[in-house]
Structure formats: structure tokens, C-alpha cells
Amino acid sequence: MKLDSTISINDLKAPLEQFWKLSGEKIELIEESFDPTKGAPVFTEKGKYVTRGWTEWTQGFQYGSALLQFDATGDEKFLQIGRENTLHKMAPHLTHTGVHDHGFNNVSTYGNLLRLMKEGKIENNNWEKNFYELALKASGAVQAMRWTNIQGGGFIYSFNGPHSLFVDTIRSCRALVVSHALGHVLQGENDKRISLIQRAIQHILSTIKYSIYYGNGRDSYDIEGRTAHEIIFNTNDGNYRCPNSQQGYTGFSTWTRGLAWAICGLGETLEILDQIDEGDYAILISKKALVEELVNAAKATSEFYLQNTPTDGIPYWDTGAPGLSKMGNYLNRVSDPYNAFEPVDSSAACIAAQGLIRIGNFLKDSEAETSKRYIQAGIQVAQSLFSEPYLSTEKSHQGLILHSIYHQPNGWDYRPEADKAPYGESCMWGDYHAREMALLLQRTLKNETYYSFFNCINIL
């Protein structure tokens, strides 16, 4: 990625206005035409959101997007969309024992509603507040039930089963963090009280240790900062076995959306640690040591992103994708979503951008130059996403950010042209995270309350 010091956050004022205007139009398009009885909207085909039965992990992004739209614009019709649909459609996600996605579905809906109440953006009603809090308590505990013990720790296992650690889940840990902060625990056999914050920290540490590489020679592809989508363990003895990938090219290359999940999850964990009592997890690790681990991982993954992304900050879907070898010096020019070989993944950029900004904000007092670089990178990625060809300006297209990819190995993504890589479509998680990133930037520009998921507990 090529950083340009002449670009500043102030350059995003007009693009943000256009972004939120288009965002509202897209939300209304989906609300008017999508049939929720068929499942949750996942990605677009020919500009229309469709379902993909695998796991229902995107519905919270749909209704959470409406809540973010209300937050940014004050338009109450979006509050009604988000609040009513959360009430009537999100309950099954609270007790869904088959997924690792509670931090996506439920913190994006119930969590955003509670946050808006705590921030004074919606009326404080005790019964409504208690409802959101109870939902978040339950969600974190149910998420924590998907637990595998390993040598020296444990992790929340993916929908693939107890052997499988996904890098994505580092961001879903926020369900456990919120539940713990609300005073909840997971109660197991013989009434054993299981700490949710300790499980969250253990999972994050396992991700840092196994899913992120540091150039220490673990295998022949141990490149500092790269991530593996999936880590496989022997569940009989808890030993690490190998890296793997479900949605990336291989376990020995870097699926860039997984890399982005790590950057985002690390960034938002670092910035809330001061609001969590160290004594609640000190049995596992000291706060000082935890911060050191998180910062090391955050810097490694951020640097890898910057080094392995085209000049405009929009990555291709996997750094080891075989078609990249046919594209010449692709990292030294802007990304090309219309190429004939490999798709870009704008959703990875949407996720990584706010992570880079959050990590940069955390490092302001300790590493000023690194902080400046990461914030600058996040702003420039946002600038790319908020303009064509990535911003969706076509009125009939339901997606907000174009040229995302869902599952390249399975061939699920729509190809407008047979002789080109998939392009021109959107996904629900990309659109949602673009809105989160836009809200973070807008609040910064306006000197408003810093946007954090943990504002549903404490307001910074």
C-alpha cells in the first residue's frame, strides 16, 4: 500500500455525506424487497441480495446496519427498522449453539441498541434496557459453550467442530466481553461458574499464538504477520496439528479477510482493556503481558496488510492465490476488480480499515510514528472505498460496497463475465463494516463520543 501524507480525514467530509445518503437508499431497497422467510441476506447476485444456507451469520449485519444509519443521520425510520426487526427476528440467534458468530449477530443488534441508549441517542427505558442486557448476557454465555481445551489454554471452536479454531472468531469474542461486563457467567455442570472474560482472553491468546505468524519458523510458510484461516487441533490431547483454510486458498497462504478480522479484533480489544478489571483475568495473564501480546500481534498483522495490498489499500482475496502470478507487479498499482485472474475483496478492506485506525489510536502515546502510519492507512482505505469503482452508486443495486468475495474456493460468487474473476457484487458483512468504519470516522471528524462496541457498557 502506498501512503500519502497529503490526504487527511478532512478530505472525507463530502464522501461521508454521499456514503450515508447511498447507504440509506440501499437499506430501504433491501427492506422493501427481500423475503426474510428464505433466510438472511448474504451477498448480491446481479445487484440483488440473496441467501446462502451455510450458517445464518449475517442477519445481525442487516438490522445492525439500519441502527448505524440512524446513529449517523438521526433518521428515525432506520431506528424503527433496526429495533423492530431485532425484537421480532433476532431471538433465535441468541440461543444458536451451532455457530461462532454471536459477536457478529447479537452485538451488532442488541448491542447497538443498548449503546444508543447509553449514549443518549434513544430514550432510556428500563424495561427495554433490561431486555437488551438480558439478550447480550445470554448470547455471550451460549457463545462460550463452544469450548475446546488445548495445551495451555482453550478456544471457541468454529462451526466445523471442536478441532477447529477460526481466526474470524477473535472479533466475535466481544459477545463474551459484553456479557461478562454486564455481570454474567456461564454456569456449567454442578453449578460450576465459568468466567466469560477468561474464556474470551484465552481464545484471543490462542488466536495470537496459533493463527498469526511471527517469522519464528513454525513451518516453511512462516511469514511474519500472515494469518491462517483455520487451525486444526487434536481434540484427544489438545495438541496443535496444522494450519488449514476454509475460504482462503490454502492454510499456507493468507486469506485477506481473515487477516482483516484479526486486525479489527485486535484493535478493538486493545482499546477497551482499561475498562476491564485486570483481576477478572489475572489468573491467566497480567494486563501488561496481555497488552504486549496484543500489540505485537496487531503490529505484525497490520504491517503484513500494508506490505501485501495494492497501492489503494484494497487487497486481493488471498495473498497466495495462483492467478496473481499472471498479473505482473500488481502490488505497485491500484487494485483491479475487473481482472481476468483473481478477485479483490473489498469486504476485507472494510474490516481492516477500522482496525488500522483503532490500533493507530491505541499507539498514539507509545509509538507516535507507527500510530500515524496506521491511521493514515485506514483513512486512505476509506477514501478508496467511498469512491468508485467501490462505492455502489447505481440506484437499483442493493449493495453498498462493490467487488467483495464470499467463497472463492466453492465458487459461490457471481461472475458477470466467464473470462473474468467475480466482480461487481456486495456482501452484508462488507456493507456493515463499511458503515461501522464510516461512523468511527464521522464521530472523529465531529469530535463526538468515540465509537466503540463497549459503549453499551461504559462510554469513553
Record: fold of 9-456: Glycosyltransferase (1.50.10)
Q: What is the mean pLDDT of residues 340-352?
A: 98
Please give the residue that has the higher pLDDT: either 194 or 37.
194
pTM over 0.85: yes
Distance of CA 50 to the CA centre of its chain: 21
* Contact (CB, 8 A) for 432 and 108: yes
pLDDT at 218 exceeding the cut of 70: yes
Q: pLDDT (tens digit, 9 = 90+) per residue, 387-440?
A: 999 999 999 999 999 999 999 999 999 999 999 999 999 999 999 999 999 999
Residue 54 scores a pLDDT above 90: no
Residue 423 pLDDT = 98
pLDDT at 353: 98
Give the torsion through C-alpha atoms of 162, 166, 171, 173, to 10 deg: 20
Length of the chain: 460
Q: Average per-residue pLDDT in the chain?
A: 97
The b-or-e profile of 10-47 (16+ CB within 10 A means b, else e) is eebeebbeebbebbbebbbbbbeebeeeebbbbbbeeb
> How far apart, in Å, are the Cα atoms of 180 and each of 116, 145, 206, 286, 351?
20, 14, 19, 18, 25
The answer for residues whose C-beta is within 8 angstroms of residue 31's C-beta and 6 or more apart is: 66, 81
pLDDT in tens, 143-197: 999 999 999 999 999 999 999 999 999 999 999 999 999 999 999 999 999 999 9
* pLDDT for 138: 98
Residues 6 or more apart whose Cβ sits within 8 Å of residue 434 = 19, 350, 385, 400, 401
Delimit the domains of the chain by residue range: 9-456
Q: Inform me whether the pLDDT recorded for 306 exceeds 80.
A: yes
Given CA atoms 430, 87, 179, 53 in this order, what sign does their dihedral have? Answer: negative
Q: In this predicted structure, what is the pLDDT of residue 56?
A: 81
Angle between helices 59-73 and 428-445 (to 10 degrees): 20
345: cell is 475483496
H or E, element range at 48: strand 48-50
3-class state of residue 227 by DSSP: strand
Residues pairing with 316 in the sheet: 344
DSSP 449: P
Q: pLDDT above 90 covers what percent of the chain?
A: 97
Q: Which of 338, 442, 335 is CA-nearest to residue 385?
A: 335
Backbone angles phi, psi at 27, to 5 degrees: -60, -45
**Confidence (pLDDT) at 460:** 65
Write out the three cell numbers for 114. Answer: 443498548
Contact (Cβ atoms closer than 8 angstroms) between residue 346 and residue 424: no
pLDDT of res. 422: 98
Helices (H), 280-412: 287-307, 346-362, 368-385
Using CA atoms, how far apart are residues 141 and 194, in angstroms rounded to an integer?
Answer: 9
Residue 239 binned pLDDT confidence (cut-offs 50, 70, 90):
very high
What is the DSSP secondary structure assignment for residue 12, as one 8-state letter?
A: G
Structure confidence at residue 53 as a pLDDT band (50, 70, 90): confident
Of 187, 221, 201, the residue nearest 153 (C-alpha): 201
Separation of alpha carbons 456 and 459, rounded Å: 7
